Structure 1
Amino acid sequence: MEVMICVSANKFLVQQYKEGRLSTDSINKLTKAWGSKNRPQVLEFQFDQATQRDLILANIRTLRFNGETSTNPVLLNSNLHNWKAIVKEMSVRTFCSPDSAIRKHMHDIHKILEMLGAPFATFMAFRDLQMRTLATMKEHLSKNHVSSNPPGDSGHRMT
Structure 2
Amino acid sequence: MAKEVADATDMKASRRVKDNERGKRSSSRVRISLDPREQSLLYCELEFLLTSALDGYINSQFNAGRLDADKYKKVVDAWHQKGRPKVIGFRYDLETQLDLVILHVHEFRFYGDRAGILAAISGILEMMRVNARAIRIRTFCQPDSVVAKQLLDSQNLLNLLGSTEQRQIQLAEIVQFFKIVLEREHTFHRAEDLRGVHQYPTAKTLHRPHDVGEAVPVTNAATSCGR
Give, in angstroms, the shift of residue 81 of structure 1.
Answer: 2.1
1:20 CA displacement: 1.4
Q: SS state of the match for residue 104, structure 1?
A: helix
Q: Is this contact kept in 1: 2:105–2:122, CA < 8 A?
A: no
For residue 150 of structure 1, report the CA deviation from its aligned partner. Answer: 2.5
- 1:75 counterpart = 2:120: yes
Q: Could you list the per-position Cα deviations for residues 30-61 of structure 1 after superposition, in whole angstroms to 9, with x for gaps in the alignment?
A: 11111121211111111011111111111111
1:104 aligns with 2:149: yes
Where 1:17 maps in the other structure, the secondary structure is helix
| Residue matched to 2:95 | 50
User: Partner letter of residue 108 of structure 1?
Assistant: D
| Residue equivalent to 2:168 | 123
DSSP-derived class of the 1:142 partner: helix
Is 2:179 the counterpart of 1:134? yes
Write out the 4+ residue segments of structure 1 that deviate beyond 6 Å after TM superposition: none
C-alpha displacement of 1:73: 2.1
TM-score (norm 2): 0.63
Distance 2:101 2:51 in 1: 12
Higher relative contact order (CA 8 A, sep 6+): 2
Unpaired segments ≥5 residues, structure 1: 152-159
TM-score relative to the length of structure 1? 0.89
1:61 alignment partner in structure 2 = 106
- Check whether the contact 1:79–1:108 (CA below 8 A) recurs between aligned residues: yes
Q: Which amino acid aligns with 1:34?
A: W
Letter in 2 for 1:57: I
State the alpha-carbon separation in 2 of the partners of residues 69 and 2 from structure 1.
23
2:127 and 2:153 in contact (8 A); partners too: yes
Separation of aligned partners in 1, 2:92 and 2:69: 17
> Root-mean-square deviation (CA), in Å?
1.3
Identity of aligned pairs, percent?
Answer: 23
How many matched pairs?
151
Q: 2:133 aligns with which of 81, 88, 96?
A: 88
